[in-house]
Amino acid sequence: MEIIIGKYNYWIYISLMMIGFYAMIAKKNLVKKLVGMNIFQTAIILFFISTAYKKDATIPILVKSQEAINPAQYINPLPHVLMLTAIVVMVSTFGVALAVIMMIYKQYKTLDEDEIIEILKKKK
Amino acid sequence: METIISLKPILAVIVSTIASFLIAITGDRARNLRETWTILAAVIKFGIVISMLPDILNGKIIEYTLLKITPELILHFKVDALGIFFAITASFLWIITSFYSIGYMRGLNEHGQTRYFAYFAIALSATMGVAFSANMFTAFLFYEIITISTFPLVAHKETEEAKRGARKYLAYLLGTSVAFQLTAIVITYNITGNLNFSYKGVFIGANISHTIITITFLLYIAGITKAAIMPLHSWLPAAMVAPTPVSALLHAVAVVKTGVFMVMRVVLHIFGIDLLKSFDLGTVLAIIASFTIISASIMALKQDNLKLRLAYSTVSQLSYIVLGVALLTPSGITGSIMHIVGHAFGKITLFFTAGAIYVATHKTKISELDGIGKQMPFTMGAFTVGALSMIGIPPFAGFISKWYLSLGALEAGDIFVLAVLATSTILNACYFMPIIYIAFLKESKSIINNRKINEAPMLIVIPLVIAAIGTVFIFFYPSIFIDIIKVIILAVIGNN
Amino acid sequence: MNLSEHASILIVVIPLVASFINIFLIFLKRSLCYPFFVLVLGICFALSIDILYTVINFGTVRYKLGGWMPPWGIEYVIDYLNAYVIVIVSSISFIIAIYSKDSVKKEITKARLPYFYSTYLLLTTGLLGITITGDIFNLYVFLEIASLSAYALIAIGEKRSVLASYNYIIMGTIGACFYLLGVGYIYIITGSLNINDLTRLLPSMYESKVTLTALAFFVVGIAIKIALFPLHRWLPDSYTFAPSAVSAFASATVTKVGIYVLIRISFTLFEPRFLTEITPLSNMLIWWATIAIFFGSIIAIGQTDFKRTLSYILIAEIGYMVLGANLGNKEGFIGAVLHMLNDAVMIACLFMIAGGIFYRVGSRNLEDFNGLNKNMPITMSAFTIAALSMIGIPPTAGFFSKWYLILGAIEARHWISASALIFSSLVNAFIFFKLLEKVYFGKNVGVLKYNFRELPLSMMIPILIMALAILIIGFYSGEIISSVIKFTVPAGF
């Protein structure tokens, strides 16, 4: 029990990631795959952010008047910064993928993987 | 041992490469000029090779390091007695073959002559390269260049059959060399850290198991398919689709002799006689070679195509050379080296005659040759000389090598080998004598051209007569070659 | 300001900025796009040579971005291995840029050309960034820049390429995300992202499960990016249907850079002993790569499409490099690193030739190679050289890397890996000699149909440069090893 409740953030991230992963692999609709990809990436963001959290800590903004700086009082800002970058990367991946999906739709008039494969087979 | 640094070995290699470029540039427009390049290159090459002979006979060695590609892979040339022996044989016969080629190609009005002469020159370059290699890497490099440059020659006719033959040729030669020979070289380097040919072998002092040595040795033997040792021999008959001069020079001299030459290098200079004796690997090789000799001779018996019969005869004769080396005795080695030149002259004569018959009458089958001796007396006379030399009858070159081989067998105390030699002599006679009988004694069935002399062009007949005379010449003056062989034996075995 | 001092940042920033400028050039003057594009990559190439020169003469270059001290700031660290890969990437991108002028015109509509150039520059940026950076998160960002532009570039190709690109996106994203997870785990236990810093911090945590998890994520993530069998599914389609210039560039550089990352992670971030003694990863990768070699080679035989054949050969070649790097001895490692260069040059050359044939014949089918020698003898002689190098015939470059790889495999007593290498040589021999026979002896069926001559100079010269490079690299491999590669070998070997 300890391992489940004490590390619940990891369990959530893992289950989210697996949902996304499953969708990416198993779904036949290309857009659904993309949604899966998004969940997958979001899970990773969650993972990073949750590692930065400390109990009873506050956001890392220094106020000038404060006397001594105690690092334990602040949550770790670095993962947040990293994730800002990662979000940008993920959004652009998503953008490119959507553009590609539009091109696919123009070509095949469908977004179902099986149907596309069917069309490709016919062409041969 | 004194070493001379000289560019000569490289010049000997490169002269025909340059010729090949000139041939390609000259092209079909100026045929006489193009042929001049070939002849010129052949003569110059022979001149360079001969000019190195006196130094070698004095026990010196000529070396040149061209390029250190990596610390262990070095393009290094070294002329020693064994190398020069092979080089003299190949470069001399190239001169004869060049004239013959011109006659043959023009006589048949073949296509793609420029390509033919260009690749022929490259093949000869690479043959010299193998002869003058100082280490296994350089030898391997030129070995592969020979394979690739002769591919277009084998496929020359561009028919489906020619392409199939060429494919088989390439698959056997390139495939085995990459799969087995390269592996063997890598293992050798891995164990010894040395790929240089040395007189006592490179494995001296290395602490190695019997298994590894045996595997490496067998990998080498399987990898040097050019020696046409059974069961990896069938590329040679397949390569007979090539024009006859190619079969004559490459598949009786340059390519296959490169193979046996490499086998000699491996036996004498990579493993060394002492090591092979102590592991008893010579016997293994001798058994494989004996098997090849006998079974190839039997296969030759049933061939009706003249060139194919010659090809199987080549397979069998090549194994004489391997057998001689495998005996690991001075006389055995002498016999086998002697057989390089003896077989070369004899077999080239035979192939030349096969080509001459084809040019004059367009016949390829033995059963069609009834009475051809009367129509082509010079050609068939030369054929008889070549055939008798192959059988080993004096006064022809073949006798000398067989003599030494038998002597070697006695030295090694191996009655089995002697029996093999005797059996194969009988088989040789069985497949050559009928041809002579048919040619001279049988009446021709065709009425036209009967009893009228109708020889092939002079450019074909003269080279083949010269080759036949060479066969006799070697019998009477073997000392030229024996002197070189003495130097080789002295270096490998020592003074006893 | 000394230009050379900032070369390491300029080489990344210049193509990045140029890719934006290139788009604005459309409004100014369209015809300027191509010269500008080539010029930028030329500058990159010059800079990369300068960096290599600096590294050889003055040792490792450390460049602190924005003056922040590592491990807080991002640091660019260039040692022999990076400098070597940077030169490979920038030279290949430069040469293929020249090649793309005519090649791309046939395959991409004119309106899209400037965007093609921009994306190409972005890809270069990404690849150079991956190699140059000394920070594992920064590496992820560049990895995605490179991948995103690769997705886009592949999607510009012929019709089927879009679907190929989509599959690549899905696979590539999984790979990148796995890598990112690895970064996360490493960060959790060490609190650092700087590679040098991590090299110092990690050894005390080798026993931790988190480290093992991180390593597993790293390796699987990168294995997807380099298409190591069985994670290769995206590669054949993508490189078959992409524009020829893109296939040539991506096949030559993307996978090599991936191998570089793998080597970096395995042998710089972790110590060699971690992979050999604490985890069985090296051993696993050896078997994995051996299977990849067998698989790639066997599948390559059955293909009828030239670019697809090359793709499968590439999968086998990737196996070579992974194998060599993990054999655990000096020879194998040298072979792997040398093969990065050789394979880049050979594969680029062959894909460029495939593009050239497509340019003239309009087909990639192997059957259409018949008698091509009569039409394009110079290109075909380049093809012959590249083919011989692929087989590993001396003195072409391919022989020397193969020599070291086989030597390494035998040194490690991995007989099956050694036979895999030889098997793949034989398969290559089979494939390429079949083609060469067609090229030189095949009957040109429709002589009228193929009534054309050599390729335009802008395509032929790059092909020839590559073919010559194969020979020159072959002759100078000893030189390359002793002046660069020798220093890349990890200390434990």
DSSP sequence for C202-260: GGGGTT-HHHHHHHHHHHHHHHHHTT-TTS-THHHHHHHHS-HHHHHHHHHHHHHHHHH
Question: C469 CB contacts (<8 Å, ≥6 apart)?
Answer: C345, C349, C397
Of the candidates B348, B170, B135, B168, the one whose C-alpha atom is nearest the C-alpha of residue B262 is B135
Contacts of B174 in chain C (CB under 8 A): 391, 429, 433
State whether residue B167 sits within 8 Å of chain C by CB.
yes
Q: Is B115 on the interface with C (CB under 8 A)?
A: no
d(CA C109, CA C157): 10
Q: Are C94 and C44 in contact (CB under 8 A)?
A: yes
Closest to C148 (Cβ–Cβ): which among A30, A51, A93?
Answer: A93
The most confident of B239-248, C289-298, C369-378, by mean pLDDT: C289-298
C425 closest CB neighbour out of B69, B137, B178: B178
Max avg pLDDT among B373-387, C370-384, C405-419: C405-419
Neighbours of chain B (3+ CB pairs under 8 A): C
Q: Which of C125, C133, C170, C304 to mutate to test the interface with A (most CBs of A within 10 A)?
A: C170
Would the pLDDT of B447 be above 70? no
User: Which among A89, A97, A120 has the least Cβ separation from residue C169?
Assistant: A97
Give the pair of three-digit tokens for residue C288: 């994995």
Using a pLDDT cut of 70, give the percent of chain B over it.
97
Chains B and A touch (3+ CB pairs under 8 A): no
**pLDDT grade for C292, boundaries at 50, 70 and 90:** very high
Q: What is the distance in angstroms between the CA of the first residue and the CA of the last residue of chain C?
A: 40
Mean pLDDT on B112-129: 87
Q: Flag if C177 and A44 touch (Cβ within 8 Å).
A: yes
Q: Which of C155, C162, C180 sits opposite A44 (nearest CB)?
A: C180
- What would the two tokens of residue B352 be? 């030349």
The answer to whether the Cβ–Cβ distance between B178 and C411 falls below 8 Å is: no
Share of chain C above pLDDT 90, in %: 37
Smallest CA–CA distance from A113 into chain C, residue: C163
The whole-number average pLDDT for the span B104-125 is: 85
Q: In the predicted model, is pLDDT for residue B43 greater than 60? A: yes
In chain B, the residue whose alpha carbon lies closest to the alpha carbon of C475 is: B69
User: Residue type at C301?
Assistant: I
pLDDT at C293: 93
B148 close contact with C: CB closer than 8 A: yes
pLDDT in tens, B189-217: 888 888 888 887 788 777 778 888 888 88
Burial B186-213 (b: 16+ CB within 10 A, else e): bbbbbbbebbbbbbbbbbeeeeeeeeeb
What does pLDDT average to in each consecutive run of 10 residues of chain A (124 residues)?
Answer: 76 89 88 91 89 78 70 80 89 91 88 85 77
pLDDT for residue C130: 92
Q: Considering only B317-326, C370-379, C410-419, C473-482, which range has the smallest mean pLDDT? A: C370-379
Instruction: Test C394 with B141 for CB contact under 8 angstroms.
Output: yes
**Per-residue pLDDT at C185 exceeds 70:** yes
ipTM of predicted complex: 0.92
Q: Distance between CA C296 and CA C255 in Å, rounded?
A: 15
Taking an 8 Å cut-off on Cβ atoms, the answer to whether C173 and A30 are in contact is no
Q: What is the model's pLDDT at position C314?
A: 92
Rounded to a whole number, what is the distance in Å from the CA of C103 to chain A's nearest CA? 23
Q: In what order do the strands lie in the sheet with B74-79?
A: B3-5, B61-68, B74-79
Of A24, A40, A96, the CB nearest to C151: A96
Q: Angle C352-C358-C361 (CA atoms, 0-180°, nearest 5)?
A: 135
Look at residue B450 and tell me whether its pLDDT is greater than 60: no
% residues pLDDT > 70 (chain C) = 97
Asked if the Cβ–Cβ distance from B190 to C478 is below 8 Å, we say no
Name the residue facing A100 among C155, C174, C181 (closest C-beta). Answer: C155
Per CB-CB distance under 8 Å, the chain B contacts of C400 are 69-70, 73
How many domains, in total, are found in chain A? Answer: 1
In this structure, what CATH number is given to the domain that contains residue A83? 1.10.287.3510
With tokens 């054929």, the residue in question is B383
Q: Please give the residue range of the domain that contains residue A41.
A: 2-61+68-123
Where residue B496 falls among pLDDT bands split at 50, 70, 90? very low
Q: Do B70 and C478 touch (CB under 8 A)?
A: yes
Q: Report whether C470 contacts C349 (CB < 8 A).
A: yes
Contacts of B141 in chain C (CB under 8 A): 394-395
CB contacts of C475 in chain B (<8 Å) are: 67, 69
Do the Cβ atoms of B140 and C394 come within 8 Å?
A: yes
Say if B70 is an interface residue toward chain C (CB within 8 Å).
yes
Span C87-114, average pLDDT: 87
- Helix (H/G/I), strand (E/B), else coil: B7: coil
pTM, rounded to two decimals? 0.90
In angstroms, what CA-CA distances link B353 with B250, B327, B381? 16, 33, 9
What's the gap between Cα C184 and its chain centre? 27
Task: State mean pLDDT over B135-142.
Answer: 90
What is the distance between the alpha carbons of residues B74 and C388, in angstroms, rounded to a whole number?
20
C304: part of which helix (H) or strand (E)? none
* Cβ separation A93–C169 shorter than 8 A: yes
**Closest Cβ–Cβ partner in C144, C165, C184 for A48:** C184
- pLDDT confidence tier of residue B487, bands split at 50, 70 and 90: confident
Whether residues C437 and B155 touch (CB distance < 8 A) is answered with yes
- Is the N-terminal amide bond of C280 cis, ω within 30° of 0? no
Q: Is B71 on the interface with C (CB under 8 A)?
A: yes
Residue B152 contacts C where some CB pair is shorter than 8 Å: yes
The residue of C123, C135, C163 whose CB has the most chain A CBs within 10 angstroms, and thus the best one to mutate to test that interface, is C163
Contact call for C184 and A86, based on CB within 8 A: no
Residue B63: per-residue pLDDT: 85
For the stretch C324-338, pLDDT in tens is: 998 888 889 999 999
Residues of chain C whose beta carbon is less than 8 angstroms from a beta carbon of chain A are 137, 140-141, 144, 148, 151-152, 155, 159-160, 162-163, 165-166, 169-170, 173-174, 177, 180-181, 184, 187-188
Nearest to A103 among C144, C155, C184 (CB): C155
Per-residue pLDDT at B387 exceeds 50: yes
Q: Tell me the pLDDT tens digit for each residue of B334-370.
A: 888 888 888 888 888 888 888 888 888 888 888 887 7
pLDDT on residue B449: 53
Contact C184 A85 (CB under 8 A): no
d(CA C445, CA B493): 61
Q: Which two tokens stand for residue B159?
A: 């028919």
pLDDT of residue A124: 67
A65 to chain C, any CB pair closer than 8 A? The answer is no
Quote the pLDDT of residue A65.
Answer: 65
Contact between C440 and B189 using a beta-carbon 8 Å cutoff:
no
Residue B384's contacts (CB-CB under 8 Å, 6 or more residues apart) are: B436
Chain C contacts of A50, Cβ < 8 Å?
none
